[in-house]
Structure 1
């Protein structure tokens, strides 16, 4: 994007943030904006694409760009801890009181390749899925879309894992009771564009990226660690943040040992 497009984007962005264009309102035509800023229509188009990528606008074919409703605060701040209450384990303190926006669903599907790899499945092997759309009380749309993937062989051995109601503590308590061992978790956070199902479930436009938390649940079984479940939680990046304490590696220990000291 060239300097002129940046100038137009900055001007429209300031106007949106100042309330000159209300959420849900259409922007003036490309011709009007080009005349207002003294640029070519192609320059306006580049600026509009940039603002859509930033989440300020929704672009629909054959319609003028529309100003999006933007969150005024971050909904969920994740850290590196797992918590527990009378219901069971949970990972988001801010989302502790959230509930299902729709009835949870169960099914079977071929997982994404990275999930299949974590579970040790063949590329075309099916996994059992449990999906939940979660949101704060009164939410019209889900704020989190979470899908658990479990190996079919494990669900065949432990019927509660596939049940509509696994029981107190959910599937994590089922696994720990069955194997008499504690689960361990590892999370990877990435970002990408939402697919159509995620756009519908989360009520977001294609321009708004989703952050994806991929969490693998590992447990010891007969002296061998197995990945019993992989959970993928997706939510709009503009409502999500990660916070954690930074630990010092041994190489960064303080006080430092100065060169030449023994």
Structure 2
């Protein structure tokens, strides 16, 4: 019965939030007042609040009243599968065309995750160059994406501009294409996972909100073979971002259909 009561109160509070009775930033009533309003024990009322926190409706802060979170599902920023270019260089997200680094970018040497090493084609456990940026709209200074680039140390030694604080006009991608006199090719994989503590703090999300991870591999032709030049991993709140792309027909699905 307690479980049924918890769900009943959670459903009622969820509806109150979605209909605007409680707006983003509003404090919820105390556990005692919720218990009195819905005719349940205080413990049951607080279980309902914690259930809503797990769904992303409510933010729990120690020694403070629960607050209603802003839920941006109605204003998702959509990423597509196209690379663009403007006077500054390549970019991969029309919505983020005019974004900037919210904090000064960093770079250093570190051992990458195993899946990154595999994509770069370097031995696991071997150091690579890591470049990190926190990106967001220039006018708000709000961090919406965390972007980390990984580059093989051998390639950085060959092309030092890749490790410079500023790689020059067009960034590392222009330097690579100039050096190899060939176009880059990219392949992306999108997946999700629970955020790290660092990602929670930077993106201002709770541990219950997954991050959307877009892993992009940049390859370029050398001696008639593609080599891994860079892996970029961008993380963003799954509440704010979605992927969108046109569905294309293969020859087997051509119209008009063949008899």
TM-score clears 0.5? yes
Range with bigger deviation, 108-117 or 86-95: 108-117
CA contact (8 A) 1:134 1:144 kept: yes
Aligned pairs for 1:33-44 (under 5 A) are: 33-39=34-40, 43-44=44-45
Cα gap change, 1:34/1:84 in structure 2, threshold over 3 Å: closer, same or farther?
A: same
Give 3-state SS (helix, strand or coil) of 2:53's partner.
Answer: helix
Which whole-Å deviations, capped at 9, do the CAs of 1:108-152 have from their partners, x for residues lacking one?
A: 222122212111222211211111111112224311111101111
What is the deviation of 1:4?
Answer: 4.2
CA contact (8 A) 2:28 2:67 kept: yes
Give 3-state SS (helix, strand or coil) of 1:255's partner.
Answer: coil
Which whole-Å deviations, capped at 9, do the CAs of 1:202-238 have from their partners, x for residues lacking one?
A: 2222222211111110111111111110101111111
Range with bigger deviation, 26-35 or 76-85: 26-35
Q: Which runs of 4+ in 1 moved over 6 A?
A: none
Following the alignment from structure 2 to structure 1, what is the Cα–Cα distance between the partners of residues 187 and 227? 13
CA contact (8 A) 1:78 1:242 kept: yes
Give 3-state SS (helix, strand or coil) of 1:225's partner.
Answer: strand
Following the alignment from structure 2 to structure 1, what is the Cα–Cα distance between the partners of residues 64 and 257? 62
CA contact (8 A) 2:73 2:239 kept: no
CA contact (8 A) 1:99 1:137 kept: yes
**What residue number does 2:161 align with?**
160
TM-score (norm 2): 0.89
**What residue number does 2:137 align with?**
136
**What residue number does 1:67 align with?**
68
**What residue number does 1:189 align with?**
190
Give 3-state SS (helix, strand or coil) of 1:198's partner.
Answer: helix
CA contact (8 A) 2:148 2:234 kept: yes
What is the deviation of 1:64?
Answer: 4.0
CA contact (8 A) 1:74 1:238 kept: no
Following the alignment from structure 1 to structure 2, what is the Cα–Cα distance between the partners of residues 157 and 12? 60
**What residue number does 2:92 align with?**
91
Following the alignment from structure 1 to structure 2, what is the Cα–Cα distance between the partners of residues 97 and 175? 23
Cα gap change, 1:47/1:114 in structure 2, threshold over 3 Å: closer, same or farther?
A: farther
Segments of 5+ residues of structure 1 without an aligned counterpart are none
Aligned pairs for 1:8-87 (under 5 A) are: 8-39=9-40, 43-61=44-62, 63-71=64-72, 73-74=74-75, 76-87=77-88
**What residue number does 1:180 align with?**
181
Following the alignment from structure 1 to structure 2, what is the Cα–Cα distance between the partners of residues 44 and 82? 49
**What residue number does 2:212 align with?**
211
**What residue number does 1:116 align with?**
117
**What residue number does 2:101 align with?**
100
Following the alignment from structure 2 to structure 1, what is the Cα–Cα distance between the partners of residues 170 and 20? 46
RMSD over aligned CA atoms reads 2.3
Q: How many residues align?
A: 258
Range with bigger deviation, 154-163 or 198-207: 198-207
Give 3-state SS (helix, strand or coil) of 2:75's partner.
Answer: coil
Range with bigger deviation, 46-55 or 229-238: 46-55
Following the alignment from structure 1 to structure 2, what is the Cα–Cα distance between the partners of residues 117 and 31? 54
Following the alignment from structure 1 to structure 2, what is the Cα–Cα distance between the partners of residues 113 and 33? 48
